Structure 1
């Protein structure tokens, strides 16, 4: 690679928090030949207490081993060693010679302190494994596992009669139809129903029944094919001593717990993109390579395992449900592991407890973060790392790139968000392909494209995308691979449509957001060469906030202030829009204010001084709870971003519905609304309890109504009925 140490040092010196120490000597081939230099650096930082950063990832394993063997070097558990890939991400390629600004940005970001630790979720497995599937396949798989695990077999889903089941009782074997399978690693609950006349647990595998059956209805899986059986019952006679065959036995329900499950049936128990951890499926056991991979993983899943608790859920912000009415279901719909379920019917059991919301099962969550991306209110937040840490990382990248002169030399930065797994491998493959002997005419990752590795690409959404643009990025791209579930792709596409609508509406030209789905390296190479889009003239300096809506407001305010074409209103797509207004049908609305009590975000409020419905548009998350709660079906959602008066109007309360007050027929005090009282009188006029004087009381205020009731003691009141 071409490396300019003075340029890197100068760029890092201008970046807050970045260090230039160690840049005096540039190692152009940071591999095994530099082992001595690494050990000297490890020893020096061990003495000084500084952190050590290696600007290459190829020999990370070797360097970590050398660190442990170097006297005076700090242990990795005490002071981690950071590795950053400068080579494949830009040093190798057509723009390698002009990529110093990018390298400075990557080095600066790698020097950031580690994110705050998060709580963990613990799995405990004793190695109890259930293999489900056809007899022969299940027995073969069980034989590969039994030396490491406590294996049981559940014969289910058919079997080949010519292939015998194991003759010896080497393990617990049952037969039946699975009726329920739920749980996760260390805690699977399996229910099945056995209805076949032969009990495999009692059967001695003597084959007498197979030989005696005149119809050949009993296979070597020791199960009776009831469609072929003509009830000769010769099998029962020859099995008299063992007593394993009983045609009069009622189907028996079984329930047992297991730590691990290997499912070899043609139709697996879980159809979602990401099954629970500890569950492995090889449909039909036809893929030998997949079966081998599953067996190897299962053999290692005994003991105690931890993973981060990836999410943080704030119930009071959730717009899913109120008063047993359902509004936003975005997180439930997008979750590919089915880890989120509705709790709309839950009622508060203690004082101050809110009803409704969702329940997230941390043992099923795998940390995609898509729930936080689609959540309009910020009730669901990704915590690994959190928004504050992730925002600091993106701002550091963009700031360092700008200070190093990147925008002037290479154009405004584009952020390329990719996964730490398949996405990183694809980018590294592109970098290596530019050096391949065979000429592929590939240019590699451009100098203005800053790769950002994420635990999962769906974990970063609208708030940080718009913040990146406000802080000087030209584009935000998300690289998709086979890791992303279909739900994530659709959710990201919808959120990007919203983000693009905001920028286009404000007059920023070009395409700022894109999902990159490259079938091969040439396609990826071409996708990364898109021209820059219009960005802000002055980059924002604010930091991302812990609350999603707060970060969005900061981004919108800055983008509006820098907008090439300020407008009062930006229409937004209906799918995924987190902003909008309400349209109230004045002919239907009775101003009952049911919507006020249903709104979880304090976007709706009444007016104690007059019959009015007031609305703060900034708070509305378009969850729809007001519309589903309204008894008159008078409310319609309208997605938009309202920016009148420089964006101030959407932050102030305004009246969206009002009505003429009803005046008490006795004291003339206003109460209720004309429409509400008239509707009540109309609906109750036919009731026996509201005739004569009683119906007149409906026209009175509460004080006059009580006085009137007790002024006529002989009158039959509704409480007497």
Structure 2
């Protein structure tokens, strides 16, 4: 069944070219309605009833979904081409409308989730003046316990909720499974006449709860508290904030779906080898503390992970992958936007990357009350802004975008975003990528109009390429596309996941400990010759080789080599092999063996006299044979007795 595009100019507030959109999208289009959601709702109902439709309006999507449900038809796909394209100071936005429709039609990948159950066990922390009234309002909905942080002179006589005092020493866990440890715990003694009293204090008490309402106004119990599900904070001095928190936490009873944002392939992780720590990027950057070491790899707690995506953009090996949605789907969205925009006659598009909340609201307010977005600026909403790293930036430019702007929200983690922008700039993006850190919709629009009007045409002379593979492969291919004439390595910022290993030949003894511990196989040996070889495109710059080297002969150089030389093996150090004095087989390094002979022969008890120093100059097989056949072989036994035969037996009887 062919999809039909249903159009509306929203009370004549935007210009929609029906014929041009139909040609650009390849979809049959309805006439341009003026009030599809109200006066022309019958037309929408007929279109939904007759077939598969795409409605060019996202504001009234709930109304059209409700209408489809009444007609027992599938919910229509609703696309916003008004706020993001039609409401603009620029003129014709047909090319951008076509691109937005094409991108919206991509089938979204399934999202992995896990069920989380909350039974409503709630701990309220704070002084009595705010904690007790909050407990009174929640007592009918949740099973409430109040941890008082001030004096206990006025204990409530109500038994609708529990009251305790104590020192909260540790809080762990997340929504549905918090664990708390308290010292000096005292609980209410409900019996007796007069005011309630408290039990004697005791240390080391542990308790569980599903929800925490923190009204203390002190240091949060968790890092990045706004990202910890089930943990709500409110200013104890703001009645409005407390009321909002009480209302929100009252809804957190039942079974909920928690998105699984990440996948972790432990065998790719370059955290450590043999107890030597290398990469710690995810541990350092995670705002919620969801990562922890686990042997040579790391582990992530999916219940604590808030899905900011910074770890996936910084992971050098691709062991951590953002999976909600996968990177491949994001790359497909970028490619679709660029291809559809150009196919509809547009040129030099710019990509505006924003989050799904703050950024979308900024665009909507600018469109409704200001200049809107320029006609050549295409917005791209992503669920994890910090996860839009250098690979995605380079992919956008290699797909045909003339520039990339990233619009952070007030709570966005700017450090990883800033670093990834710097890394992308060094790998071919240059000055075509920027952090659009503005406070108002008008400031956003003004910056975009000024930027696009001054953009150089030379930024669009790159033929778009098809990008495939993981993030590392996408980044390499895109960077090579953006630097076609670059035939030497370019320097990268410190900590970049690309680079070379430099070896001091005067110090290196070719012990090859670095080869055995290299997590990516970038360092290799030669089974036939004493050689240390290196393949640059595989190097993660984790630093384990430099840490483990006993001679401190290894240093790292962050850089990117766009040539094919990065994918070939080259020799970092080599020496002449030593040949066994018995069989002539090559083994070991000549300089090392000669040094050992000079150090031990005639000077060590095991290698003094009787030719024992010759053992050092033998290969493994010959050394074992020589040890076995020598006169004082400690492994030798007495002479093997002759086999006794039948003739021996009868001869012995005759002798007797």
Counterparts in 2 of 1:684 and 1:327: CA distance versus 1, 3 Å: farther
- 2:133 aligns with 140
* CA displacement, residues 311-365 of structure 1 (integer Å, 9 cap, x when unaligned): 122222222222222211112222111111121xx2xxxxxxxxx2110111111
Query: Larger Rg: 1 or 2?
Result: 2
- The 5 A counterparts of 1:137-286 are 137-156=130-149, 158-159=150-151, 164-194=154-184, 199-202=186-189, 251-265=202-216, 266-272=218-224, 274-282=226-234, 285-286=236-237
Counterparts in 2 of 1:258 and 1:678: CA distance versus 1, 3 Å: farther
- Report the secondary structure of 1:528's partner residue: helix
| Alignment gaps of 5+ in structure 1 | 14-19, 209-221, 223-241, 347-355, 435-442, 505-509
Q: Does structure 2 conserve the Cα–Cα contact (< 8 Å) formed by 1:139 and 1:165? A: no
Q: Give how far 1:30 is off.
A: 4.1
| Residue 326, structure 1, aligned to residue 292, structure 2 | no
| Residue 395, structure 1, aligned to residue 396, structure 2 | no
- The 5 A counterparts of 1:499-510 are 499-503=424-428
Q: Does structure 2 conserve the Cα–Cα contact (< 8 Å) formed by 1:274 and 1:336? A: no
**Residue-pair matches, total:** 615
- 1:700 aligns with 618
Aligned with 1:462 (options 379, 390, 396): 390
State the distance in 2 between where 1:680 and 1:274 align.
62
Q: Does structure 2 conserve the Cα–Cα contact (< 8 Å) formed by 1:601 and 1:619? A: yes
| Residue 44, structure 1, aligned to residue 50, structure 2 | yes
Q: Does structure 2 conserve the Cα–Cα contact (< 8 Å) formed by 1:131 and 1:151? A: yes
- 1:32 aligns with 38
- 1:420 aligns with 356
* CA displacement, residues 498-521 of structure 1 (integer Å, 9 cap, x when unaligned): 1111216xxxxx621111110223
| Residue 74, structure 1, aligned to residue 73, structure 2 | yes
Q: Give how far 1:421 is off.
A: 0.7
State the distance in 2 between where 1:679 and 1:83 align.
77
Q: Give how far 1:426 is off.
A: 0.9
Aligned with 2:368 (options 432, 443, 457): 432
- The 5 A counterparts of 1:564-575 are 565-575=485-495
Q: Does structure 2 conserve the Cα–Cα contact (< 8 Å) formed by 1:579 and 1:641? A: yes
Q: Give how far 1:24 is off.
A: 3.7
RMSD in angstroms over aligned alpha carbons? 2.5
- 1:712 aligns with 630
- Report the secondary structure of 1:176's partner residue: strand
* CA displacement, residues 237-270 of structure 1 (integer Å, 9 cap, x when unaligned): xxxxx7x565xx6x33211211111122222211
- 1:440 aligns with none
| Alignment gaps of 5+ in structure 2 | 1-13, 636-656
- 1:491 aligns with 416
| Residue 373, structure 1, aligned to residue 289, structure 2 | no
State the distance in 2 between where 1:104 and 1:620 align.
41
State the distance in 1 between where 2:598 and 2:406 align.
58
- Report the secondary structure of 1:201's partner residue: strand
State the distance in 2 between where 1:516 and 1:401 align.
23
Counterparts in 2 of 1:680 and 1:66: CA distance versus 1, 3 Å: farther
* CA displacement, residues 525-572 of structure 1 (integer Å, 9 cap, x when unaligned): 222121325435243241443x22222233234334xx3x43322111
- 1:507 aligns with none
More strand by share: 2
- 1:444 aligns with 372
Counterparts in 2 of 1:160 and 1:201: CA distance versus 1, 3 Å: closer
Q: Does structure 2 conserve the Cα–Cα contact (< 8 Å) formed by 1:273 and 1:336? A: no
Aligned with 2:477 (options 554, 561, 565): 554
Counterparts in 2 of 1:271 and 1:362: CA distance versus 1, 3 Å: closer
- The 5 A counterparts of 1:73-92 are 73-76=72-75, 81-92=76-87
Q: Greater RCO between the two (CA within 8 Å, min separation 6)? A: 1
- 1:16 aligns with none
- Report the secondary structure of 2:305's partner residue: coil
- 1:437 aligns with none
State the distance in 2 between where 1:716 and 1:477 align.
76
Q: Does structure 1 conserve the Cα–Cα contact (< 8 Å) formed by 2:258 and 2:303? A: no
State the distance in 1 between where 2:225 and 2:405 align.
23
| Residue 476, structure 1, aligned to residue 401, structure 2 | no
Q: Give how far 1:34 is off.
A: 2.8
- 1:120 aligns with 113
Q: Give how far 1:458 is off.
A: 1.7
Q: Normalising by the residue count of structure 2, what TM-score does the alignment of the two structures yield?
A: 0.88
Q: Give how far 1:148 is off.
A: 0.4
Q: Give how far 1:292 is off.
A: 1.8
| Residue 631, structure 1, aligned to residue 630, structure 2 | no
Q: Normalising by the residue count of structure 1, what TM-score does the alignment of the two structures yield?
A: 0.80
